[in-house]
């Protein structure tokens, strides 16, 4: 998200009803080896999304809160924007290269949501 904040303007202007945007905020830039984000703890991504025109925004601080909010997130019209604040898995140690690419991450995450919450994330064609 940090590298393309303009996507929020597009999401707000197009306002697709089925769009649920999740940001997993562990305060690291994972794709370059879990380096600390320069804005650590100072940036409110939900406020940025609201400023771009996305009305339904929220920040979730715990797994319990996610479990309570997920039915609402799944059922509300989009676009919606949810920040999931989590702790980094490492103390900013370099991580080995991923063995899979971005599209596979999307499907792993989507399938996990479908299984955990019993909701449809992908359409009939599977994307």
Position 17 scores a pLDDT of 95
Residue 123 lies in a domain: no
Position 52 scores a pLDDT of 97
Residue 76 lies in a domain: yes
Q: Domain count for the chain, please give it.
A: 1
Position 54 scores a pLDDT of 98
| Residue with the two structure tokens 């290269």 | 97
Residue 122 lies in a domain: no
- Outline where DSSP puts E strands in the chain: 20-25, 28-29, 35-36, 56-60, 80-85
Residue 25 lies in a domain: yes
Position 11 scores a pLDDT of 97
pLDDT in tens, the chain (127 residues): 877 899 999 999 999 999 999 999 988 776 666 677 777 778 899 999 999 999 999 999 999 999 999 999 999 999 999 999 988 776 555 556 667 788 888 899 999 999 999 999 998 887 7
Residue 82 in contact with residue 73, Cβ under 8 Å? yes
Contacts (Cβ under 8 Å, ≥6 apart) of 71: 117
Residue 58 lies in a domain: yes
State pTM to two decimals: 0.69
Q: In which domain, by residue range, is 65 found?
A: 6-117
Residue 127 lies in a domain: no
């Amino acid at each position: 998200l940090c590298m393309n904040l303009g996507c929020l303007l597009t999401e707000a202007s197009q306002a697709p009803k089925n769009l649920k945007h999740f940001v997993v905020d562990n305060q690291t830039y994972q794709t370059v080896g879990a380096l600390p984000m320069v804005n650590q703890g100072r940036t409110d991504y939900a406020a940025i999304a609201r400023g771009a025109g996305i009305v339904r925004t929220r920040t979730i601080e715990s797994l319990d809160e996610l479990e309570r909010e997920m039915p609402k997130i799944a059922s509300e019209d989009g676009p919606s924007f949810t920040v999931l604040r989590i702790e980094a898995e490492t103390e900013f140690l370099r991580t080995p290269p991923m063995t899979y690419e971005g599209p596979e991450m999307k499907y792993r995450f989507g399938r996990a949501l479908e299984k955990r919450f019993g909701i449809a994330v992908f359409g009939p064609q599977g994307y």
